[in-house]
Amino acid sequence: MSGREDLGCRDMADTMFTHKLTEAQVLRLRETVTEKGFKLGPLEYGHFSARKGKCVLQMYLSGKLVVAGKEAREFIEFVLEPEILGEARLGYEKVRNPEMYQPHFGIDESGKGDLFGPLVVAGVYVDEDTADRLVEIGVRDSKTITTDKKIGELADEIRQTVRGGMELVAIGPARYSELYKKFGNLNRMLAWAHGKVIANLHAKVPSCPRALSDQFGNPRLIEGELRKQEVEIQLEQRTKAESDIAVAAASILGPSGVCAGVRQAFDGGGGGASERCGSRGEKTSE
């Protein structure tokens, strides 16, 4: 559940960007790319697709524009921003979204805890240097990544980048059923796992002033769990929090853990225990 959505453009390792356009901007874009020699084509659920050289555009009915290819950045900087948007955004992330580069924890959950794999809540600590590196390697919302291989590759790079600044709580099917009975509903269980991840990270980096989580229910649930664990930290919860680089990194570590759980299940490992994965991703029984 990345790092540039708040800015309008999301950098995907300099090969893919997304932007939300108004109806007027969609019309202007179509006229502009036609004039510049792009070849237009149909797009399912979209207004049109367009291609020229090593740049591909996909303009969806929702208003989302996807710009991909090796010449995507050039198109953003020299066509989209000056001729369609009327403002420069790419390269000004720290000015437009400074909080993303300040020290904080990012937390996100993945999986459902069912037969096909564990429920995983992951947390990542970032500061300015770490955030820069995560952006550089192409970290973004895991929902935009279509292959398990790419998830695994990015997860490995994230672990190398954040080093000790990560925590995972994985709840396998058997433990999931046990905890569900204890908490009574999924949101309370998620709040418990989020609180545990934040508490574990806070123990590692007690100076960190803020935690950001993707909002999944009543904000008071995680707040209550943190009070129980006597963790004092500014907690922010919001929808689409994966636009933040730390939450985006957590959203990748979570699916990586889910994929490992699925492989374990199909290899006969079962995965019934609740597990905590520390800074290197080793799993230890809770």
Tens of pLDDT, residues 35-78 = 999 999 999 999 999 999 999 999 999 999 999 888 988 898 89
CATH number for the domain that contains residue 143: 3.30.420.10
Q: Are 20 and 161 part of one and the same domain?
A: no
User: What DSSP assignment string belongs to 122-146?
Assistant: EEEEE-HHHHHHHHHTT---GGG--
- CA distances 255 to 109, 161, 276, Å, are 8, 18, 15
**Average pLDDT of the segment spanning 181-190:** 91
Same domain, 10 and 107: no
Query: Which residues lie closer than 8 Å to 281 by C-beta, 6 or more apart?
Result: 159, 166, 168
Q: 103 and 73, same structural domain?
A: no
Q: How far apart are CA 126 and CA 244, in angstroms?
A: 10
Q: Which amino acid is at 203?
A: A
Tell me what the mean pLDDT of segment 243-257 comes to.
87
Amino acid at 18: T
As a whole number of angstroms, the distance between CA 32 and CA 250 comes to: 38
In angstroms, the Cα distances linking 173 to 153, 236, 260, 261 are 26, 29, 14, 10
d(CA 167, CA 197): 6
Q: Which residues contact 38 (CB under 8 A, 6 or more apart)?
A: 50, 51, 52, 57
The domain boundary, picked from 29, 59, 94, lies at 94
Name the amino acid, one letter, at 225.
Answer: E
Domains: count for the chain: 2
173 lies in the same domain as 43: no
Q: How far apart are CA 95 and CA 90, in angstroms?
A: 11
Query: Given pLDDT bands bounded at 50, 70 and 90, which one contains residue 110?
Result: confident
pLDDT at 210: 97
Please state, in angstroms and as integers, the Cα–Cα distance from residue 11 to each residue in 16, 48, 236, following that order.
6, 22, 24
Answer yes or no: pTM beyond 0.85.
Answer: no
Please indicate whether residue 14 or residue 233 has the higher confidence score (pLDDT).
233
Please answer whether residues 3 and 14 qualify as being in contact, where contact means their C-beta atoms are separated by less than 8 angstroms: no
Rounded Cα gap, residues 221 and 193, in angstroms: 11
The two tokens of residue 255 are 């699916």
Residue at 114: amino acid letter? D
Residues 79 and 215 in one domain: no
Would you state the pLDDT for residue 207? 96
5 forms beta bridges with: none
pLDDT of the residue at 5: 36
- Partners of 236 in the beta sheet? 212
Q: Could you tell me the CA-to-CA distances from 121 to 156, 166, 198, 214, 255 in Å, in that order?
A: 17, 11, 10, 11, 9
Flag the least confident range among 13-17, 79-83, 150-154.
13-17
pLDDT score for 275: 41
Distance of CA 127 to the CA centre of its chain: 16
The reply to whether 60 and 135 lie within a common domain is: no
User: Both 58 and 34 in a single domain?
Assistant: yes
**Together in a domain, 173 and 41:** no
Give the percent of the chain with pLDDT over 90. 52
Could you tell me whether strands 39-41 and 16-20 are parallel, antiparallel, or unpaired per DSSP bridges?
Answer: unpaired
Q: pLDDT digits over 117-159, tens only?
A: 578 999 999 999 999 899 888 888 888 887 888 889 999 999 9
Domain span at 81: 5-94
Q: What are phi and psi of 89, to 5 degrees?
A: -125, -40
Same structural domain for residues 61 and 44? yes
Domain boundary among 77, 94, 111: 94
Phi, psi of 261 (to 5 degrees): -65, -40
